[in-house]
């Protein structure tokens, strides 16, 4: 079982002080939060992808590569990578590069996002969002598993004899989670490929996403990847922790009520009771999280948001500390004791390498002596007019 935190990368005014941090401050804060999560033994840090204010995370791979260089153990992920408006070829390249730089300590979550204008900004039609998600992942899946790809689809130019570089580390692609909160077809897609399914378990009534999780489990078994109980499920959540529940509610209330997302529509107590938001003492957060296991079945990854709604960095760091020292150690023991036999842990690069190679050495693509393609051995100019190649400048 993996436990960690994720950020939507919002830049929000602190409703207590009235101060709004700069982009530079929030970017630096996210790095500090990830480093603290690594130090206290959390398993995962994930960052979203947005291309509009009031968010800062337009380039998750750049941020995560920086964090990878400053951490030791934590798995770095996304929440979400936009499979609809990013070119799958560029996703294949960028995340394979991140996989190398992080020495395998990464995976990614794919989704359609929730910002309508992002589609025309990147030349796509929102009415084709589902088709884009399905087709683009089909190509991404192949790019990471086939050295040479011939491909033709509806939303980008065809590929002929294309090799995505760098190849995945150890020739083992990054593990993929598919994130969705309303679309059965995405649950079906995750099940078909044997990938993970992530339900962002916030902003909705308790167990609202159980039907989608159950659909994914059934179809995972249908496609022969294992039993329904062995399907790879992740859940999102939100939390604010203090030593006792009264202090937690008192300290979190101004941020909740000052948030345009929450405070204008909900009472804090009602939201705490009716949704997965966990505000309280460590024991109360533990108890509420255990209800997720009871309601959704055994699952592999639990992530919480701790840096939203204008919370200052020092508050977010305290939340990470309390999760790592007082909440997660208890949850590890409790959830493991309740887990049914045969339910797997979340896949990691190390476990997937062992699954593919056993005790053998992993494949390591490297340049060929003929200075041609570094995987297939063919010349990059084999289909080029010889007169064009002759006119290319010599460098070095």
**Total domain count, the chain:** 1
In a domain, residue 396? The reply is no
Cβ neighbors of 12 (< 8 A, separation 6 or more) are: 20, 54, 259, 308, 309, 310
| Residue 183, number of CB atoms within 10 A of its CB | 17
Position 212 scores a pLDDT of 96
Gap between the Cα atoms of 150 and 92, Å rounded: 15
pLDDT number for residue 288: 97
Domain that holds residue 98: 2-390
Distance of alpha carbon 265 from alpha carbon 256, whole angstroms = 10
What confidence score (pLDDT) does residue 382 get?
Answer: 52
Long-range contacts of 155-163 (CB under 8 A, 24+ apart): 155/124, 155/128, 155/131, 156/87, 156/88, 156/89, 159/89, 161/378, 161/383, 162/89, 163/373, 163/375, 163/376
The DSSP call for residue 127 is G
What separation, in Å, do the N-terminal and C-terminal C-alpha atoms of the chain show?
51
Q: Is residue 381 domain-resident?
A: yes
Q: What is the mean pLDDT of each run of 10 residues along the chain (396 residues)?
A: 96 95 97 98 97 94 98 97 96 98 98 86 92 96 96 96 95 96 93 96 87 97 98 97 96 92 84 94 98 96 95 97 98 97 97 96 77 54 48 44
Domain assignment of residue 227, yes or no: yes
In a domain, 100, yes or no: yes
Q: Assess contact for 29 and 306: CB atoms under 8 A.
A: no
For residue 395, being part of any structural domain is answered with no
Q: Which of 291, 266, 263 is nearest to 278 (CA)?
A: 291
48 CB-side CA count, 13 A: 25
* Residue 201, in any domain of the structure: yes
The CATH number given to whatever domain includes residue 49 is 3.20.20.30
How far apart, in whole angstroms, are the C-alpha atoms of residue 292 and residue 272? 14
């Amino acid at each position: 079982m993996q436990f960690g935190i994720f950020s939507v990368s919002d830049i929000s005014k602190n409703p207590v002080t009235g101060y709004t941090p700069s982009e530079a401050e929030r970017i630096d804060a996210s790095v500090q939060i990830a480093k603290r999560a690594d130090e206290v033994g959390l398993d995962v840090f994930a960052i979203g992808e947005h291309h509009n204010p009031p968010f800062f995370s337009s380039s998750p791979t750049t941020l995560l590569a920086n964090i990878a260089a400053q951490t030791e153990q934590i798995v770095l992920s996304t929440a979400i990578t936009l499979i609809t408006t990013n070119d799958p070829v560029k996703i294949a390249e960028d995340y394979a590069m991140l996989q190398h730089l992080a020495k395998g300590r990464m995976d990614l979550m794919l989704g359609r996002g929730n910002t309508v204008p992002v589609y025309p900004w990147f030349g796509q039609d929102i009415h084709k969002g589902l088709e884009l998600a399905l087709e683009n992942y089909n190509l991404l899946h192949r790019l990471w598993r086939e050295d040479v790809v011939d491909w033709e689809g509806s939303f980008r130019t065809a590929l002929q004899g294309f090799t995505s570089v760098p190849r995945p580390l150890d020739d083992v692609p990054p593990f993929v989670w598919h994130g969705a909160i309303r679309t059965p077809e995405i649950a079906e897609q995750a099940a078909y490929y044997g990938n993970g399914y992530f339900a962002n378990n916030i902003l909705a009534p308790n167990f609202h996403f159980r039907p989608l999780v159950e659909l994914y489990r059934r179809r995972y078994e249908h496609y022969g990847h294992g039993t329904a109980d062995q399907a790879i499920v992740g859940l999102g959540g939100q939390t604010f922790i203090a030593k006792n529940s009264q202090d937690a509610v008192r300290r979190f209330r101004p941020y909740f009520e000052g948030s345009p997302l929450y405070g204008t529509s909900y009472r804090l107590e009602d939201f705490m009771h009716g949704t997965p938001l966990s505000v309280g003492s460590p024991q109360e957060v533990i108890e509420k999280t255990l209800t997720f296991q009871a309601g959704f079945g055994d699952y592999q990854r639990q992530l919480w948001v701790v840096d939203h709604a204008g919370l200052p960095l020092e508050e977010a760091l305290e939340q990470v500390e309390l999760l790592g020292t007082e909440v997660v150690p208890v949850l590890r023991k409790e959830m493991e004791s309740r887990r049914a036999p045969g339910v797997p842990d979340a896949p990691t690069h190390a476990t997937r390498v062992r699954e593919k190679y056993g005790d053998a050495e992993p494949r390591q693509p490297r340049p060929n002596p003929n200075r041609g393609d570094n995987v297939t051995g063919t010349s990059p100019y084999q289909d080029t007019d010889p007169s064009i190649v002759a006119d290319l400048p010599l460098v070095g």
